[in-house]
Amino acid sequence: MKSVKTEPPGRKTVQDLIGKALCAASLAYAPYSRFQVGAALLCADGSVCTGCNVENASYPAGLCAERAAVAKAVSGGKREFAAIAIVGGRDGKVTDFCPPCGICRQVLREFADPKRFYVILAASADRYRLFTLEELLPESFGPEKL
């Protein structure tokens, strides 16, 4: 578990991540809910891994955008993350904030210090909210507890 940033990402970085999350959302496979979600995960080395939600006729087999981004990063050898931007909306229209589900919060926690990892919920490049993972998942259980 590593998270390298101690300060929130700057405005330019936030807007870049939001733009990449919006692009990722456009690739979502969401034929059942029509709710498209995109995520852009900022790695410690400055690279960004994106993910989109992938639904399945067997609903529990679906994959959230955040976990898709984490899986892409981990399968590429990345293990240290600084922030994630998340966007989502019905039929690709982002009108409000789209917080991560509980499973995604826990998966992010596996790879991040909750006090130093930032979650950006965005409705647009200029309308966003910034949280630490600790604010979204207080009293969390992580690898250091084992």
For residue 98, how far is the Cα from the chain centroid?
Answer: 10
Q: Which residues share a beta bridge with 7?
A: none
- CA–CA dist 92, 78 (Å, integer): 29
59: which 2 tokens?
A: 């609903």
Helix (H) or strand (E) holding 40: strand 35-43
Active site annotation includes 66: yes
Kindly name the residue from 66, 134, 135, 144 that is annotated as catalytic. Answer: 66
Q: Hey, is 3 helix, strand or coil?
A: strand
Which residues are catalytically annotated? 66
